[in-house]
Structure 1
Amino acid sequence: MNSFKQSITNHWPDFLKDLQQMMQIASVKGTATAEAPYGEGPLNALKQALAFGTMYGFKTKMIDGKIGYVEWGQSSTDYIGIFGHVDVVAAGAGWSVSPFDLTEKAGRFYGRGILDNKGPIMSCLYGLKLLKDAGIEPKNTIRIVFGSDEESGMSDIPAYLAAEPAPVFGFTPDCKYPVVYGERGIVHVLLAFSLTEQDLHMLGTFEGEQSTAYVPDCVSTTLSGEKMTGYGKRAPSNAPELGKNAITQLAIQLQQQEALSAKGQAAFAWIVEKLHEQHTGAGFGLNQCTETTDQLLMTPVILQKTPTGLSLAISVRYPVNTKEEEVLTCMENALPSNASIHVTRRLPSICRDKHSLGVTLLSEVYAQMTGTYSPPVTTTGATYARKVSNIVAFGPSFPGQKGIAHREDEYMAVDDLKQNLAIYMQAIAALIEDETIIQAMK
């Protein structure tokens, strides 16, 4: 372990130089072409990752311009897989530094993708290089797989699995520590409220940046020509308690407006009653429907005017031992008579064996490197582990770190990036040096 840390210290400037080159690629999904199915940015980042792999002395392969891998070892079928991604979400506004660069300031690195996911997956790749340079010979084949559509649907993974076998075991460095053995179910629902002709005439459209990915920070409309605005604080939709929802803030104002009919006022009053700061679903009785210590999380994300009334999109993350049907039933039972519900997206929960050899090994590595044992946990996020069998999420965020990705000034502490590189080196070494692991996991 100490030798790993010394190696990291010796090669730190070189690692940052390569990481910066990757960070400077604006790999946001763009216009598809025959060569670049997700646009030029993601393809350029994918090409760069594989170019680093070749430069470091590893075998590389690209698949359909969508995904590729760096491989070290002899077997082409039985391998350990590390799955990360080089695409990023759009920069958005409000940055204090250039979003597509690597900037160090006051003990932190800033840039789009430093946490999600260029920093972590490049740490895995550079850690592999340092192990190879140290003269280690892998007894088990390892692949670092670079996706380029994780942020927009993960359609890169089916392309990979159509061309390559799934790993025997592996992890994705795209979530949090300690080991994440389960990912909670995700369901997006759309509520439709009917309004009177009077309400439709009086009420304007709803303006502001709204997305299923985050809690909106500013939503406005007009009522009888007068502008009304709800101000909040943006946060990821899987951590709504860190934000302040502009939709419910606006609904608080609209529920009291006499220009609306009683039906219109009631619709906004219902939104306030059921959803304002009700992040765990208590407004729907969902805190009673679940039987687990893992909280359900929900938040309204998109409010729009329709030809017949209102539509309200809600993002729900439910525990691994809760069924989607249970969640939907609780919500349906709480709807007013003028409202309906339908599902627009669903991602079932996944749950791996938290006592398996692979999870145990990664847990031991984390304990060894941090001095603290933490049992495996679940997450509200969605990673490649939902699409690739036999892998779990492992890092990069440490306990207590939430709501950093997908926002302005995305960052990672310098010391945390170094710690991640050391943890991933140790994990890779543990997975490739014991020749019995592959057979034990098959």
Structure 2
Amino acid sequence: PPGKGWSVPPFSGRIIGDRIISRGASDDKGPTIAALYGAKIVKELGLPLKRRVRLIFGADEESEWRCMDRYNESEEKPAVGFAPDADFPLIFAEKGLYNVALRFHLGSGGKTGIHLLSFTSGERSNMVPDYAEARLKVEDPRLMERIKETYLLYLKEKGYPGEWGVEEGELKLAVKGVSAHGSLPELGEHAGWRLAAFLNDLTLDQEGSRFIELLNHLFLDDPKGKKLEIEASDPVMGDLTVNVGVISYPGQGGKGEMVKINIRYPSSTHVEEIRGKILSKIGPYGGEIVKEDKKLTPHLVPKDHPLVKSLLRVYRSQTGDTREPLAIGGATYARSLPLGVAFGATFPGREDVAHQKDEYILLDDLVKATAIYAQAIYELANMELVE
């Protein structure tokens, strides 16, 4: 989803000043068009090629990759390839990916004057939530007024944008955060944690209190997974990261999914180990795993492989930039190929605006990436490969 707060319609593709503003402008419609036109340039120039060039378009990258599963079942796999879906100079390593949805059986009883009716934050597991909302049933009008005053003071002291309201006798508390890609949760400001921290100081009903308690004890402000005891790291891929992308109390869509987390892990650990540790930590809260998907293992193409060396040579010849290739937490279609890497189109120094409101790509960068991709396609199609 594009999220809220856009200054233009998110799918309009508006050119404003030096940039195109649109959902997908940088991730990944803009770079895809650059690669398409790069191939068009090579074709129209009539350049000699030793290998066939195939452009593969998938449309399920943010979910379960069913498109690439289908492609690999029925089509020929390229010998080498790149995905224009990350950063320059080049991505040679990608962390593993594990999505998991959790349900908690919290019990009931222990009524108080403040009943937590609902708590929601986030729309997708791979996005840091930028909005959170809670609804409370408060029997005493004077207590409701004190909560409102305390909440406004909390927002002011923290500098958080937020609001309150009363709808059908229910007190609504809302707060905004800053979205970021789920592979880099530390770059965002999780709206759910801002609201949970406030609710933690209220005397809620037993079930609601238990839910806020588990959010604080297992997840809050912990992008490295230390509270779940799943932290891991290696010298190439870096640290494991955890993004709690969806929070839904008392449960989402009748499926019982209360918390959806997105885990990016290095090659020093594996899904089975992570899963076991999660189960042991959520057990005391009546937790269970109700859904698992997108189990992608870590992917790496050695830096000295001809594919990496060839693409780096192209990038450096056109930019003069000699930076080394990168390892990331993101998952790109490059890992669908045995020998695939991510190659652009975000240039060094540009802000990461993927999955954020007013996402954009600079027009100059789009043209520059097109030229790089044209040369890269030509070079790869003529590269000698050792079978």
Which residue is 1:292 aligned to?
Answer: 235
Tell me the residue number matched to 1:259: 204
Cα displacement string for residues 44-69 of structure 1 (whole angstroms, at most 9, x for unaligned residues): xxxxxxxxxxxxxxxxxxxxxxxxxx
- Decide whether aligned partners of structure 1 residues 401 and 139 sit closer, same or farther in structure 2, where only a CA change above 3 A counts: same
- In the alignment, structure 1 residue 344 sits paired with structure 2 residue 257: no
Q: 2:119 aligns with which of 199, 203, 206?
A: 206
Deviation of the 1:363 alpha carbon: 1.8
Q: CA deviation at 1:441?
A: 4.0
1:375 aligns with one of 318, 324, 328: 324
CA-CA distance at 1:416 after TM superposition: 1.3
Is 2:121–2:246's contact at 8 Å kept on the other side of the alignment? no
The structure 2 residue matched to 1:278, chosen from 198, 202, 222, is 222
Whole-Å separation in 2 of the counterparts to 1:334 and 1:180: 34
Letter in 2 for 1:297: T
Q: What's the offset of the Cα at 1:184?
A: 0.9
Kindly provide the amino acid, as one letter, of the partner of residue 311 in structure 1: M
CA distance in 1, matches of 2:194, 2:92: 36
Structure 2 CA distance for aligned equivalents of residues 310 and 415 of structure 1 = 44
Aligned counterpart in structure 2 of residue 419 of structure 1, from 361, 368, 376: 368
1:269 matched residue in structure 2 = 213
Structure 1 letter corresponding to 2:133 = S
CA distance 1:300–1:150, change in 2 (3 Å): closer
Per the TM alignment, residue 285 of structure 1 is displaced from its structure 2 partner at its CA by 4.0
Q: 1:186 offset after TM fit, Å?
A: 1.4
CA contact (8 A) 1:186 1:317 kept: yes
Change (3 A) 1:239 1:199: farther
Structure 2 partner of 1:359:
308
- Determine the structure 2 residue equivalent to 1:106: 17
Residue of 146, 170, 187 corresponding to 2:98: 187
Partners of 1:427 and 1:200 lie apart in 2 by: 65
Q: How many residues are treated as equivalent by the alignment?
A: 347
Q: State the one-letter code of the partner of 2:81.
A: G
Deviations 1:385-439 (A, max 9, x none): 23333222111112354541233222111221122112112211212244xx1xx
Alignment of 1:22-101 (within 5 A): 90-101=1-12
Check whether the contact 1:190–1:311 (CA below 8 A) recurs between aligned residues.
yes
Gaps of 5+ in 2: 139-170
State how far apart, in whole Å, the 2-side matches of 1:92 and 1:244 are. Answer: 15
Aligned CA RMSD, in angstroms, stands at 2.8
The DSSP-based 3-state class of the residue aligned with 1:204 is strand
Q: Displacement of 1:92 after TM fit?
A: 4.3
TM-score, normalization: structure 1?
0.70
Percent identical: 31
Q: How does 1:167-186 map to 2 (within 5 A)?
A: 167-186=78-97
Residue 374 of structure 2 corresponds to residue 430 of structure 1: no
Q: Residues 101 and 196 from structure 1, CA distance in 2 versus in 1: closer, same or farther, beyond 3 angstroms?
A: closer
What amino acid is aligned across from residue 420 of structure 1 in structure 2?
Answer: A
Contact between 1:215 and 1:234, CA under 8 Å: does it hold in 2? Answer: yes
CA shift for structure 1 position 359:
1.4
Report the alpha carbon displacement of residue 200 of structure 1 after superposing the two structures with TM.
8.7
Taking structure 2 as the reference length, the TM-score comes to 0.79
Shift of 1:310: 8.2
> In structure 2, do the counterparts of structure 1 residues 163 and 177 end up closer, same or farther at CA, with 3 Å as the change threshold?
same
Give, in whole Å, the separation in 2 of the partners of 1:217 and 1:400: 24
Give how far 1:327 is off.
2.7
Which residue of structure 1 aligns with residue 355 of structure 2? 406
Distance 1:159 1:200, change over 3 A: farther
For residues 147-186 of structure 1, the C-alpha deviation after alignment (integer angstroms, 9 at most, x for no partner) is 3333443222233334321011111111222222222111
2:11 is aligned with what amino acid?
F
| Higher helix proportion | 1
